[in-house]
Amino acid sequence: MIEALVKALPEGRVLTDPDVVDSYARDRTFLEPGKALGVVLATTRDEVVTTLRWATEHRVPVVPRGAGTGLAGAATASEGSIVLSLAKMTAIRELNPADEFAVVEPGVITADLDRAAREHGLMYAPDPSSYEISTIGGNLATNAGGLRCVKYGVTRDSALGLEVVLADGRILNTGRRTVKGVTGYDLTGLFVGSEGTLGVITSATVRLRRAPLAPPATIAAEFGSLRDAAAAVSAIIAAGCQPSLMELLDRATLKAIDDWRNIGLEESTQAMLIGQSDASDGQAMAAMMQELCEANGASFVALSSTPEETEDLIGIRRMAYQAKERLGACLVEDVCVPRSALPDMISAIEAAAARHDVMICTVAHAGDGNLHPVFIFDHGTVEPPANVWAAADEVFKAALEMGGTLTGEHGVGLLKRRWLALESGPVATEVQQGIKRVFDPLGILNPGKAI
């Protein structure tokens, strides 16, 4: 069956060596993938079309894949599937400074697009922590967020239009190049965050924004308790400081980073808050954030004086996940609650960790109320132990009780499907399954993921 696909595509596009296939079958989770038939390394839209037509003809599941940096299992290969890698589609087809948009292929690295935009005084706003290795296609598929989304929003807020290959090989163009547009249903928004279950994105028109004229002003505040740090976040948002970045790290995370990179962690520090303003009055906003941190119990607050100091502070935040991976296998979650509920959500996570004797390292895009509690368990364990799942159950239920959501930016994938019904409910589930049937009637696109 796969020989027909090998013959239909240029030489070298289809990989079938079992060890090579296995290396493409995993994402960044602990999940064990199914055995895939092979991997397609697509370099053009037409190769994606050929692959999906073949898959439809032979009823073969297709698992789209970007850089494999996902944390929810959405890119994990299913049994008997073809992994369709878009990582070699790396062209920035157009960068239009006058109208502030770019047209990019899905394999473009997020940070590379931002760097290209900055040559024209612009920037690409979404910046997940994996921005140096994650791809635009993967960001679109999961509606990725990042450090700057407190001000600039998530990936959906920067997506203007898409070129999508549907399950049967038809090509669908959605959206526009204009700032405004309300013709028909919002198909662009529907595909963003769909985790490869509705179609395969082969090109995207994305919004660019004016880059700040001056380097952002950045503060770093240390606290004796995580709840005090969360309270400071609530105060900063309520005061109208409009930070462009607001990141919170708990002591367990800071200690993991310190053990790895020796950042000089003080014994009394239980949490660190990193705030940033890229506004024209950024220094004044940073000074206000500093005062509010001190008013909410900060033991120490520093205001960066150079771009290098700022990069060092942001670098601490970006090292968080790699540092935690050194401690053990990671079950990574990303609950999101109303920002005013952040202190209560912090307390709920700490209580779950104590009650079930689980190490939980928490960081947060605090200005969004988006928390990343990471449950650590032994390396080599195929499945998280029962106490880890029990703690995770409590965390998810607490987030929903506070009016929150199961996932702010990582997506549902495979890992969160066990909790999906708690949030979606039967009517939403029926509607979403109906949408899936319209776009993928045979159910071959990333089966078992997202819904």
Residue range 119-171, pLDDT digits in tens: 999 999 999 989 999 999 999 999 999 899 999 999 999 999 999 999 999 99
Task: Look up the CATH architecture of domain 213-325.
Answer: 2-Layer Sandwich (3.30)
Please determine whether the domains at 92-210 and 213-325 fall in the same fold group of CATH: no
What class is the 92-210 domain?
alpha beta
Q: Out of 2.40.30.10, 3.40.1010.10, 3.30.70.20, 3.30.43.10, select the CATH number for domain 2-85.
A: 3.30.43.10
Residue range 342-387, pLDDT digits in tens: 999 999 999 999 999 999 999 999 999 999 999 999 987 778 999 9
Q: Where are the domains of the chain?
A: 2-85, 92-210, 213-325, 328-442
- Letter for the amino acid at 210? R
Query: Which residue in 57, 21, 53, 60 sits closest to 40, CA to CA?
Result: 21
Are 121 and 211 a contacting pair, CB within 8 Å?
A: yes
Spell out, as residue ranges, where the chain has pLDDT lower than 70: none
**Backbone conformation region of residue 28, classed left if phi is above 0, alpha if psi is from -120 to 50, else beta:** alpha
3-state DSSP call for residue 303? strand
3-state DSSP call for residue 54? helix
Instruction: Tell me the average pLDDT of the chain.
Output: 95
Handedness of CA 317, 321, 327, 331 (dihedral sign): positive
CA 67, 69, 70, 76: dihedral to nearest 10 degrees?
A: 60
Task: State the pLDDT at residue 214.
Answer: 87
Task: State the pLDDT at residue 304.
Answer: 86
Are 232 and 298 a contacting pair, CB within 8 Å?
A: yes
Residue 108, phi then psi, degrees to nearest 5: -65, 130
Q: Out of 3.40.1480.10, 3.30.70.2740, 3.40.50.720, 3.60.20.30, select the CATH number for domain 328-442.
A: 3.30.70.2740
Q: What is the pTM of this model?
A: 0.94
